[in-house]
Amino acid sequence: MTTEFPPPTPAAWTWVDADPAGEPLPMLLLAHPAGLGMAELAVRLGLAAAEAPVAELGELLTVCPGAGVTLGLGAAELPVPAHPQWTRLLLVRRHAALIVGLDPLPRTADLPDVDRYLTAALADRRLLFGHAYGAHAQRRATPLPRGGTTRRFCGS
């Protein structure tokens, strides 16, 4: 799958919330400042509406030691602004809730703004959900064009 993001690329926000069992779960929201391309991205990923079973998206998150986390979407890599605690939780849980917002959200939005956005977008059915799995970069396998796999390293 190759995903090209319309300029500017989607913005990303991370935080920790509780899953239905009350356990901490890393959360990742993607939204575009102008709302561009997010519906297409959600369709490509196979995301689900809030009332549907959560879509299992596969290993999309790469943890690069000392360099942070990236979200891989085909040929595109999106840096994920993640606190070290969020990253550690991702590695323990092995997945994060990936949420794509279909409405615009400014890059400058802080967490209270994001909370209001999520509340309004959920009520309007403008959020789509999935589980994105994560791994250390050196453990992530990348398909080669002629078959087989190679190890994915940070910066490659």
**Over the chain, what is the mean pLDDT?**
85
Q: What local confidence, expressed as pLDDT, does residue 103 receive?
A: 96
Report the candidate in 17, 51, 55, 41 with the shortest Cα–Cα distance to residue 100: 41
Residues with Cβ within 8 Å of 1's Cβ and at least 6 positions away in sequence, in order, are: 44, 73, 74
60-76 per-position pLDDT tens digit: 999 987 768 999 877 77
pLDDT greater at residue 55 or residue 155 = 55
Q: What is the CB neighbour count within 10 angstroms for residue 140?
A: 21
Helix (H) or strand (E) holding 78: strand 76-80
**Tokens in use for 108?**
């400058």
What pTM, to 2 d.p., does this model score?
Answer: 0.83
Q: What local confidence, expressed as pLDDT, does residue 154 receive?
A: 60
Distance (Å, whole) CA 132 – CA 140: 13
Which span out of 33-42, 118-127, 141-150 was modeled with the highest average pLDDT? Answer: 118-127
Report the candidate in 156, 26, 36, 142 with the shortest Cα–Cα distance to residue 81: 26
pLDDT greater at residue 141 or residue 104 = 104
Q: What local confidence, expressed as pLDDT, does residue 3 receive?
A: 45
79-129 per-position pLDDT tens digit: 899 999 999 999 999 999 999 999 999 999 999 999 999 999 999 999 999
What band does 143 get if pLDDT is binned at 50, 70 and 90?
A: low
